[in-house]
Amino acid sequence: MTIRAILRNGVIHPTEPLPPGWVEGQELVIENPDPIADNGEIEEWVRECEAAATQLPADDNERFLSALEEIEHESKEQVRREWGLS
For residue 72, what pLDDT is reported?
96
Q: Residue 3: CB partners within 8 Å, gap ≥ 6?
A: 14, 16, 18, 19
Q: Report the C-alpha gap between 41 and 23 in whole angstroms.
A: 42
Return d(Cα 86, Cα 73) in angstroms, integer. Answer: 13
Q: In the chain, what are the domain boundaries?
A: 58-86
Give the pLDDT confidence of 9-32 residue by residue, as tens digits. Answer: 999 999 999 999 999 999 999 888
**What pLDDT score does 35 carry?**
75
Q: Which of 31, 30, 36, 14 is closest to 6 using CA atoms?
A: 14
- Summarize pLDDT for 30-81 with one digit per residue, the tens: 888 777 778 888 899 999 999 998 898 989 988 999 999 999 999 999 999 9
Supply φ then ψ for residue 28, to 5 degrees: -125, 155
pLDDT at 81: 93
